[in-house]
A and B are shown apart, each in its own frame.
Chain A
Amino acid sequence: MSETKSLLERKLDRRLLLAGGLMAAGGTAVAASAARGQTSHAGHEMPQAAAEAPPAHLSAHGAMITVGEVDDARNGFDPSKLLTDWDTGTVSTLPDGRTLRTFEVTAEDKEIEIAPGIMFPAWTYNGRVPGPTLRATEGERLKIVFRNQGSHPHSMHFHGIHAARMDGVPGAGPIGPGEEFVYEFDARPFGCHLYHCHALPLKRHIQKGMYGAFVIDPDPARHPEHEAVARSRLLGTPENAGWQEFVMVMNAFDTNFDNENEVYAVNTVAHAYAKKPIRVLKDTPVRIYLVNVVEFDPINSFHLHANFFDYYNQGTTLTPTLKTVDLITQCQAERGILEFHFREHEPGLYMFHPHQSEFTELGWSGMFDVVEAVS
């Protein structure tokens, strides 16, 4: 009743409302009060401090943001850590002197929280969505031990060069629950790739969460003409340590199974990097391994605010395929490498999002928090 009264007391001034300035200005206050009022997501409300003094990055989204926080501990993965979580497997040497890199991947059913309070019955690789970011070096022998602990047949279909027997398509790789399969092939070509389940029906297996990034770093010895570039891409080199590398898998979830997505994100959790911006150093260049796996929508995109980047489509070249752009589009399974820096920028929050406004407004948006030095 008191609410109705306050409605009454407030004179209806539509012009003020339509001006929209009210919303922009009031957004921050609203965000705070909304968070305080909302206690439905038991156990993980917005921290009181955030409610009292909303951080600057929240005001950039106004009131257009999901309410509450996702329980990373229950999910078993933290979007902030997924960004730099490379799975390099275990390394051994083959009799012929080549490097053998072995990965272990287990498929399992798992309910995950994809936006605050919204649970999704996912099918996962290693209990996380996206699956582990497998990272190898060009020319290595790869062995992926795949175990299916899920309730449905699954496979791993790698985008790369391999034998038909290793393709992960029906008849060559999908295994039933409780079974095991070993995929074996050489790591080539270098680039930013992906893997996903190819069991049928394909749409359902992909959108339920069975995908991950698969990065093959170039071997500098094989690319004398671009050795410096290749070395900067090779994980573990001092040159590579001079970069801030992140993996971003653009995905989405159809929570009511009507073949349309309700939640869009990068690395699964809606608004994860909007609420916790990604901290980057002003003077260190940034490299993003970007993969699109969104189901149902024909394309996705990546737009960086206030900056431009070089783009390496599929990452299979050492010179950019697109220079000085601030937007690239990717269809499903398309991927590439983005390189940029903030050297000439003032510190602050720089937004990134797809330029499909719908995806942005349904959860896929984030921020880089550019700082002078790590505090």
Chain B
Amino acid sequence: MTDLSQPSAETRANRSSWAYLAWIALPLAVLGLAIVWLVSSDLLSNFRNGAPPVENLTFERTILGADGIRVLVRAGGSEPMTVAQVQVDDAYWQFTQDPPGPIARGATAWISLPYPWVLGEAHAINVVTSTGTTFGHEIAVAVPTPTRDSLSFVAQAVLGAFVGILPVAIGLMFYPALRGVGQAGMDFLLSLTVGLLAFLFVDALEDAFELAGEAAALFQGSTMIVLAAAASFLLLMAAGRRSGTPTGLALATFIALGIGLHNLGEGLAIGAAFASGAAGLGTFLVLGFTLHNITEGIGIAAPILKQRPPLRTFAALTLLAGGPAVVGLWIGSLAYAPQWSALALAVGAGAILQVIVELVSMQMRQRADGTRAVFAPGAMAGLATGVGFMYLTAMLVKI
């Protein structure tokens, strides 16, 4: 019986694997047929109402230099679209397009205009397509775009250190003082961290959605942000809980990572804003950022108060949380596109959410009456202080 059943089982296995392949091939074949039918039979002719193709053009980068203005445009039309003429400040201007010719959906092209722009003044670029549709782009304040020389590289690094690394370091320097706090103090500090992270979470998402609004429609900004934030949240949760829930240094590292990702997105946005002249850089503004970010250091210190990590750990945490601001500034001022800043901010938001979840679960685990610990007066005061401090210091930097 077994002798007989053996080959039949094999045949069945063979047959089922063939059937398996067939069941994959069949739907694909139907899709292929549908595409062939749609293309060959001109089914859509009934829908063709004589309307010109839908056109969309997004301006992703603007570079102002000694040789004039260059803009990077991304086409998002239903068909390849042609840039016929370009107006600058209501005047037709000579331009070159690279690559020349019609721009396919999703593709980009550089448009170079030898225009004598005026420092500190506004200019308007208006692209006229072959159908006569126009797409405008405003240069709010014309300033030369930073070039890739070492001088501005260093200057940006110093600026990034001031707004990213220095405040985290200052916050971490409270570590020895914080070590003495009791349980109530601990509750306060952890809740303070949760509060400031909650602020950053909302702030990052808001900025991300705003940037997504400037990006080309084909990136589906809002969906991209939600997906990226959810993915980064789930990935970090999974990574963090591979060997139990993260506590102590591991948790501090995750907090530093979340803040670092947020600072990367913020650095991108700041770098781009300064590069495009949208924001002027003042001492007050930089100080505001520094003050705003000091609590981040305290937040990182909170989970490791019971440990005594070596000094280089603090240095590493500082770099992890603050360093990305420098990188963000570099990238943002040189290669800016709104969708990438939005993506970085969304990933940061997801990372921050993961840290919030882990911090709250740690608070709940530390005490038998877990839920009550979260809502204890000390914890509530910490939350309020964290959110309130961030909100008030943000007033210094929001423009």
Contact = CB atoms under 8 A, between A and B. Distances in A.
Contacts of A118: 84-85, 128-130, 132
B91 to A, nearest CB: 3
Interface in B110-166: 110, 112-119, 128-134, 144, 147-149
A71 to B, nearest CB: 12
Contacts of B132: 118-120, 253, 255-256, 262
A20 B127 CA distance: 24
B65 interface: yes
Contacts of A38: 95-97, 100
Nearest to A254: B132
Contacts of A14: 66, 119, 144
B92 A12 contact: no
B93 interface: yes
Contacts of A26: 114
Interface string B90-107: 111111111011100000
B352 interface: no
Interface residues of A, number: 50
Interface in A343-363: 358, 361-363
B94 A34 contact: yes
B222 interface: no
Given A40-B101, A40-B102, A361-B92, A66 B149 contact: no
Contact of A40 (B63, B66, B82): B82
Contacts of A34: 94-96, 114
A10 B92 contact: no
B119 A115 contact: no
A49 interface: no
A46 to B, nearest CB: 11
A17 B100 contact: no
B210 interface: no
B97 A40 contact: yes
B115 A115 contact: no
A111 B144 CA distance: 41
Contact of B118 (A18, A41, A362): A18
Nearest to B117: A17
Interface string B65-101: 1110010000000000011111100111111111011
Contacts of A253: 132
A255 B134 contact: yes
A63 B85 contact: no
A358 B63 contact: no
SS class, residues of chain B in contact with chain A: loop
A37 B96 contact: yes
B64 to A, nearest CB: 9
B115 A41 contact: no
A256 B84 contact: no
Contacts, number: 132
B92 A115 contact: yes
Interface in A281-338: none
Contact of B94 (A12, A30, A358): A30
Interface string A26-44: 1100110111011111100
A73 interface: no
Contacts of A63: 93-94, 113-115
B65 A65 contact: no
A85 B317 CA distance: 81
Contacts of A117: 82, 84-85, 130
A371 interface: no
Given A12-B147, A256-B132, A66 B98 contact: no
A315 B112 CA distance: 46
Interface stretch (A1-9, A98-106, A181-189, A211-219): A1-9
Contact of A12 (B65, B82, B84, B131): B65
Contacts of B114: 23, 26-27, 30, 34, 63
B90 A361 contact: yes
A28 to B, nearest CB: 10
A37 B110 CA distance: 12
A13 interface: yes
Interface string A44-67: 000000000000000000011111
Given A12-B147, A17-B116, A23-B114, A31 B94 contact: yes
A269 to B, nearest CB: 12
A3 B131 CA distance: 30
A97 to B, nearest CB: 51
A31 B94 CA distance: 6
Given A40-B83, A66-B85, A119 B92 contact: no
A116 interface: yes
Given A37-B98, A40-B97, A362-B92, A8 B85 contact: no
A82 interface: no
A367 interface: no
21 contacts: A7-B67, A7-B147, A10-B66, A10-B67, A17-B116, A23-B114, A27-B114, A33-B96, A38-B96, A38-B97, A39-B101, A40-B84, A63-B93, A64-B91, A67-B94, A117-B82, A118-B85, A118-B129, A118-B130, A358-B90, A363-B92
Given A20-B116, A39-B101, A256-B133, 4 more contacts: A23-B114, A37-B100, A67-B85, A255-B131
Interface of B: 63, 65-67, 70, 82-87, 90-98, 100-102, 110, 112-119, 128-134, 144, 147-149
The 7 closest A-B pairs by CB, nearest first: A255-B132, A117-B84, A361-B91, A37-B96, A63-B94, A34-B94, A23-B116
